[in-house]
Amino acid sequence: MLDLVHHNDLPTVLLIDDDMVSREVLATVLTMGGFPVHTAVDGETALKMLADEECEPGVILMDAQMPGLSGTALIKELRAASDASVVTISASAPPKDVVAAADGLLLKPFAPEDLKVLMEKRATAQPVVKKVHDPQPDEPVVNPETLAQLRDMMPERAVKQIYEAIIADINRRLKEIHAAIKNNDAAEVRRLGHTIKGGCSMAGAAQAARLGSLIEQGALEVANSHGKVNHLDNNAPVLKDLRSAAESLKRMLKDEFTS
């Protein structure tokens, strides 16, 4: 993480997200936007940080879908442990009860300015939601605007490391998806698709984000005559496309970065 001078009028942010790629990209983007940022991998870790007074956040950003303590239960615990505003973040529409319990909602990907706007709207009791359109099939491997923004905010090596981490994460998630398919665990497959979508969208990896969205929506599920999931397709084209997206990201790195 780059060492930057923060704006005095911006609140300290505690970011809670179990997905490493999404967490690191978002933390970097917020830091470059002037926010002092602390991160936690899950709700339990965040609560311990607050109890140990490791940070005093003005805003807590929490992913809407995490293993363990999450959702409204986590929001309740965070409010008991801190006076910070609690904003839920998600790559897709979170449960209505979570949105109602939080002080705001931001949909990934979002920029520091979106958080600033939300805080300003919060001060005047006007909620704001950052709306994001789903990626389209003809989108590039990496959104050029996002790539340019990252290059403006950090050294080339740091940008390269972000995409290297995304490639490694996609390959790891693919293995986890195959394991979930063997167990016919449709809920876990959808969760993994959501995670891929969230992490990749934050870094502008458009193709991979779109494929993660398709998996989240049930692209691997095969319904029986009653409309219920009968089994999961381990040879679905979307999985092959996701592997291809990871390979395309590798080629992009080779073409875009010389060191």
**118-161, pLDDT tens digit by residue?**
776 654 444 444 444 444 556 788 988 888 888 888 888 888 98
Which has more confidence, 166 or 92?
166
**What's the half-sphere exposure (Cβ side, CA atoms, 13 Å) at 82?**
26
Q: Which domains does the chain have, with CATH numbers?
A: 13-130 (3.40.50.2300), 144-256 (1.20.120)
Share of the chain above pLDDT 90, in %: 34
Q: What is the mean pLDDT of residues 195-218?
A: 90
pLDDT of 62 above 90: yes
Which has more confidence, 197 or 117?
197
Which has more confidence, 39 or 33?
39
**pLDDT for residue 4:** 32
Which residues are CB-contacts of 73 (< 8 A; sequence separation ≥ 6)?
Answer: none
Q: pLDDT for 68-95, tens place per residue? A: 888 999 999 999 999 888 999 888 888 8
**pLDDT for residue 7:** 44
Q: What is the mean pLDDT of residues 197-221?
A: 89
